[in-house]
Amino acid sequence: MHDNSRCINCERAVADAAQKFCPNCGQPTPAHRIDWHFLGHELEHSVLHMDRGILYSLKQLMLRPGPLLRDYIEGRRGNQVKPLLLITVMSAVVVLLNRLVVGTGMMDMSGSVNSTGALNTSAEAQALMSGFMSASRSVGDWINAHFAAFTLLLLPIEASVKWLVFRRYSKLNYPEWLVITALLTVQVFVIWTVLILL
Ligand SMILES: [Zn+2]
């Protein structure tokens, strides 16, 4: 097996036993075998931890967005999850929840089509009505399914607008505006998630 005096990833000598990560490549030293304990630990550190991780970053973003944005822009990023990871996770959550909610919404709608159909005496009007219902349903589905994607596509444009508008007053560059806009979009996704759940 591997000896613990060297980084298993890049072979750099480990300076002392207390060192937790390789200073050269960031690899944990010593490396642990992947087992249940390891997986539990990974989950705990990447998601559930209260002083860092996804939930921590989301909580900070919702409760004190100003300080979080300032910290992130000024370089205090040690405790924060990368915005790209946050926005990926949150858009996946929004899309999945939307699917689930649209799924149940469709069942409710087809039920109401049947009941309006029963009220109509004319079979022609009934067919027209159900045609209209299914058309509006598919438009709704389409918007629901792609709204998160639209929001993501608009992100670079939104960032460039902010950059142009605030260029005179702030020293932030375009990539910094991109990160700020991404974090604000994550905020919107969190609010959507709450609204969908309600
Ligand atoms: Zn290394």
Report how far ligand 1's centroid is from the alpha carbon of 81 (Å): 22
Report how far ligand 1's centroid is from the alpha carbon of 6 (Å): 8
Report how far ligand 1's centroid is from the alpha carbon of 9 (Å): 5
Question: What pLDDT is stored for residue 36 in this prediction?
Answer: 93
- The mean per-residue pLDDT over the stretch 85-104 comes to 82
134-188 pLDDT per residue, tens: 877 776 676 666 777 888 888 999 999 999 999 888 889 999 999 999 999 999 9
152: which 2 tokens? 């993501």
Report how far ligand 1's centroid is from the alpha carbon of 28 (Å): 8
Report how far ligand 1's centroid is from the alpha carbon of 87 (Å): 29
Q: Which residues pair with 6 in a beta bridge?
A: 13
Question: What pLDDT is stored for residue 170 in this prediction?
Answer: 86
57-66 pLDDT per residue, tens: 999 999 999 9
CB 45 within 8 A of CB 53: yes
3-state SS, residue 36: helix
Q: What pTM does this model have?
A: 0.67
Q: Using only the alpha carbons of the chain, give its radius of gyration.
A: 25
Report how far ligand 1's centroid is from the alpha carbon of 40 (Å): 24
Report how far ligand 1's centroid is from the alpha carbon of 75 (Å): 24
State yes or no: pLDDT of 68 exceeds 90. yes
Question: What pLDDT is stored for residue 112 in this prediction?
Answer: 45
